[in-house]
Structure 1
């Protein structure tokens, strides 16, 4: 099945739809962000672990835990538990469009993390696109903000949380890359999300006094129950599986990854049409600047890559 390029690219696109609709589903549920994050990764991480256990090449979880368990646990708490607590908490303060757009800056943060952690030089193109992304972030930070910086209901806190999430996910991605290269993307992602889900359950329980009980899900109001189930199984389990599988089997992984730039556009459409959250001219400009900056970075990398030799 995966050998068909159309299937691989289609899986990536479905994965993008799952990523792009996660902010919408979280807000639509009406449940507070920290609690949503606990439900999402406790159930979604378990679901992805079950899928990995059903795949022959990914079911050995003991070996990576025995050989790199400490690093996997610490990175899971950093890049899943803390990062996605900030992500969902941000949605309590900022709009779907703002959060989705800022999360799209992750590739820019990856470049900075590579510079600090691996001493990998940052090219002139990376500095240029990074500066453009910063401009887009600045547009979002100042969109209607100057007159209400002291307003507790303003979105500045949410925007900073979203930026924190993007930075943490970038650091997690850079540090986890060699472990994924050794043991495989599906196996490590499933293991990391499962451990991160347990970490989120403990963090939200201790910090917010909300101890998520999966057996109580049928007792929730229908809108909450279906939304929480959707964000766990659709936006997390199935989305991650299709995204990882599609990228792994796509003939051109870079081209496939371009689809991720549709995330803020899809999120904006859902927020506008269903949640009735307004889209301002500044937000549209910020989406164009940030997505354009990240897209130029990928295109520049591909342009500089040596052409394959022809026999």
Structure 2
């Protein structure tokens, strides 16, 4: 297996593998801290989405233009205009819009936990799009995602019963973000193979910025003026720049580079499920948010069942349900 070779190899292979895992983990930290930084901007979902896409898109364009392999941003648009623009605007851009909107109604932990189910939904989208078989290990993580949704929906109902503002709209928007994002991740794969992940990510945020600018303007009456960035209070401007440069540009590049260079991409992807744990830590210790029992149960359900998927064969062997030399298709 490639993971064993990378772990046991000598020379530059092992340091590269370690660096790749660290980069992927740093990318997860970028994903996980985005909810936290959005809260620091103190802006509503529509407006903060536009700022993130404008600043992140501009940073990604600069990165693409600085590299010979990604400098040509015209050819992909000429060859696959509808696919590139359609997936950029109605795929991840729309998913990110739902994500920021969800934070208007739900807590950092609730949104982060729900968005973490996106890779799990990918399995079911692959079934719909490509007819890919859903194996038993994948069903295990699917059960975790289902339980996580139930726990957070319960949390939203309890908020309402306690006389507080219901978080259900935010939870449902976060679920929508995960589902739309899952379809994007599946449908964009051929374009990523053809044009590369950095260029496709650049299109997502650069083209999405234009679309989100009009959406926020026409639907919310918020016409964002990028020239006013430094007219805002220093902490708000810093939060917006952090959201665009660190959480969007650097975070996505580290995540994509790390996953592209880890010895075992499947295990590298599992790092994404640390997102709600990191978000909960930031929310509790920095924002001072209260972490409820249903939220903790949701985190444990999703991360625990994903661990069950990771060690599915080992668990079955320990329980005497399979022979050590049998392999389960994943």
For 2:196, which of 165, 181, 184 is the aligned residue?
184
The question of whether the paired residues in 1 share the 8 Å contact of 2:159 and 2:167 is answered with no
For 1:82, which of 76, 85, 94 is the aligned residue?
94
2:33 is the counterpart of 1:32: no
The question of whether the paired residues in 2 share the 8 Å contact of 1:261 and 1:295 is answered with no
Q: Where does 1:95-174 land on structure 2 (aligned, <5 Å)?
A: 95-143=107-155, 145-146=157-158, 148=160, 153-174=165-186
Q: Which residue of 2 aligns with 1:277?
A: 289
Deviation at 1:123, TM superposition (A): 2.2
The question of whether the paired residues in 2 share the 8 Å contact of 1:42 and 1:200 is answered with no
Q: Where does 1:7-86 land on structure 2 (aligned, <5 Å)?
A: 7-86=19-98
Instruction: Measure, in 1, the Cα distance between the counterparts of 2:163 and 2:176.
Output: 21
| Count of aligned positions | 306
For 1:193, which of 205, 216, 234 is the aligned residue?
205
Instruction: Measure, in 2, the Cα distance between the counterparts of 1:147 and 1:242.
Output: 37
Q: Which residue of 2 aligns with 1:216?
A: 228
Q: Which residue of 1 aligns with 2:218?
A: 206
Cα RMSD (Å):
2.3
2:243 is the counterpart of 1:250: no
For 1:235, which of 223, 233, 247 is the aligned residue?
247
Instruction: Measure, in 1, the Cα distance between the counterparts of 2:169 and 2:224.
Output: 25
Instruction: Measure, in 1, the Cα distance between the counterparts of 2:255 and 2:51.
Output: 21
User: 1:274 aligns to what SS in structure 2?
Assistant: helix
Report the CA distance shift for 1:151/1:111 in structure 2 as closer, same or farther (over 3 A). Answer: farther
CA distances 1:62-103 after superposition (whole Å, capped 9, x unpaired): 221111111111111122332111101111100000000000
Instruction: Measure, in 1, the Cα distance between the counterparts of 2:159 and 2:254.
Output: 43
Which of 1 and 2 has greater Rg?
2
CA distances 1:101-159 after superposition (whole Å, capped 9, x unpaired): 00000012111111111122222332333123111110111015146279783100000
